[in-house]
Amino acid sequence: MTSAQPQATAADATTSTDTPVRVIFMITVPEENTERFLTEYDAISRRVAQVPGHIEDQVARSTTEPDRWVITSLWENGVAFAEWERSPEHRTLVGPMRACFTEPVSLRFAVQRHTR
């Protein structure tokens, strides 16, 4: 007989140490800021790749609305992401990139299944 693992809830997503968390950050980047935004993203992503608990990042541009972008990141758990997000280094690093976009929406999801 096997026992089922309890599924993480949305409330657990930032406090769990055993459930991966997918962070989705939706933004608007005006065309004139695109190159600067990507330059800043590249600088930040190299540093974030070294943060404990970080697994991967992606940046994507909408195929239908070219000023709409999404940055996604996958973290080993919500605690690792929360520690990074609250760190002084995070605020310092993202400042120049934040100047490139408007209308930020940040979402966090507890990963339930992962298929490759």
Distance between CA 114 and CA 37 in Å, rounded?
Answer: 29
Write the CATH number for 71. Answer: 3.30.70.100
- DSSP SS3 for 112: coil
Q: What is the pLDDT of residue 15?
A: 67
Phi and psi, residue 37, nearest 5°: -55, -50
Q: Per the domain annotation, does 78 fall within a domain? A: yes
Which pLDDT score is estimated for 6? 45
Q: Is residue 6 one of the residues assigned to a domain?
A: no
Confidence band for 116, pLDDT divided at 50, 70 and 90: confident
Other Cβ atoms less than 10 A from the Cβ of 69: the count is 21
Q: How high does pLDDT run on average in the chain?
A: 89
What domain range is 33 assigned to? 29-110
Residue 25: strand pairing partners = 71, 106
Rounded mean pLDDT, 1-30? 71
Q: What are the pLDDT digits (tens) for 64-113? A: 999 999 999 999 999 999 999 999 999 999 999 999 999 999 999 999 99
Residue 65 counted as domain residue:
yes
Total structural domains within the chain = 1
* Phi, psi for 43 (deg, rounded to 5): -65, -45
